[in-house]
A and B are shown apart, each in its own frame.
Chain A
């Protein structure tokens, strides 16, 4: 494992996860349940696009083949995407969207907080900048999950179903491989095992206030970092990439 390749992969994982979730959230633009929430989801999408730009630009620099953030976002196919699978799950109803962002934001919040101490100044800087925004995402989605869970019978059932459906993708957030091992030794990456207990606690606190049961799921999906994805990601990328691919180098 050489450093250049490890760092490239690591940046892709973070950048791709932010980009795919941003694309999902932006699907709500103009369709939010209320005007204020429509704006909130679009704001979160824009924050995540900012995170993706930072990490993908850095990935391109590390790779050293002259690829820009746009080249990486629009001209890689599904197997080359390294995002966590949780973020590619379809929006479903509003409860699914809020639950998905809660589970991911809690992870990203802890991850960025750890990465501020990275020896790599670019990663440390990007983490510090992203942390503020993801802290807000965590607060916003926590508040919604609490209200849906502790709301009506229907909202409770919907958000509990959302948790049950998404739960088999939560372990994958913490999946690591030799890229992590190498970068942890270099003081660049952060050991995700150290986050698990705190993530569990964050989620349990919200679930407890929301009167939700933490799901118990036998099957756990893995492999986003190796380019294995659900059937949903290909469709998402097809939509996101269609314009730049049909009109390369278009400016607007």
Chain B
């Protein structure tokens, strides 16, 4: 393996397993452009019936929260049970919420 991959950006790969299901993060690939990123994603993550649709997006285009954000972003939800939907019953016959 040469170092040439260092010149290529990383793309995050999201796969959809069936119609209506959300796209889920599968992993990442190196590629010089979007078309090659899709082809590489297909070869690495989509060849064994794992997906019916794929997204690729430049890793650099993703804005992530930082570890320092963790407290202010997520903690407040923990002590306010009324924000949770626990008291609602799932209607019969619903497989996915």
A and B from one complex: yes
Q: How far is the CB of B3 from chain A (nearest CB, A)?
A: 10
- Kindly state whether residue B32 has any CB partner on chain A within 8 Å: yes
A188 to B40, CA, bound (A): 37
Q: Considering residues A33, A34, A39, A140, which has the most beta carbons from chain B within 10 angstroms of its beta carbon?
A: A34
- Kindly state whether residue A196 has any CB partner on chain B within 8 Å: no
Task: Assess whether B44 is in contact with A36, with CB atoms less than 8 Å apart.
Answer: yes
- Kindly state whether residue A24 has any CB partner on chain B within 8 Å: no
Task: Assess whether A40 is in contact with B43, with CB atoms less than 8 Å apart.
Answer: yes
- Kindly state whether residue A157 has any CB partner on chain B within 8 Å: no
Task: Assess whether A143 is in contact with B39, with CB atoms less than 8 Å apart.
Answer: yes
- Kindly state whether residue B53 has any CB partner on chain A within 8 Å: no
Task: Assess whether A147 is in contact with B36, with CB atoms less than 8 Å apart.
Answer: yes
- Mostly helix, strand, loop or mixed at chain A's interface? helix
Task: Assess whether B43 is in contact with A39, with CB atoms less than 8 Å apart.
Answer: yes
Residues on A with beta carbons closer than 8 Å to the beta carbon of B42: 136
Task: Assess whether B2 is in contact with A36, with CB atoms less than 8 Å apart.
Answer: no
Contacts A34-B30, A143-B35: A40 and B2 contacting too (C-beta < 8 A)?
no
Interface positions of B (Cβ within 8 A of A): 1-2, 4-5, 8, 29-32, 35-36, 39-40, 42-44, 47
List 29 contacting pairs A-B, 8 Å CB cutoff, sorted by A: A32-B1, A33-B1, A33-B2, A33-B4, A34-B2, A34-B8, A35-B1, A35-B5, A35-B30, A36-B29, A36-B30, A36-B31, A36-B40, A36-B43, A36-B44, A37-B40, A39-B43, A39-B44, A40-B39, A40-B40, A40-B43, A43-B43, A43-B47, A136-B42, A140-B39, A143-B35, A143-B39, A147-B32, A147-B36
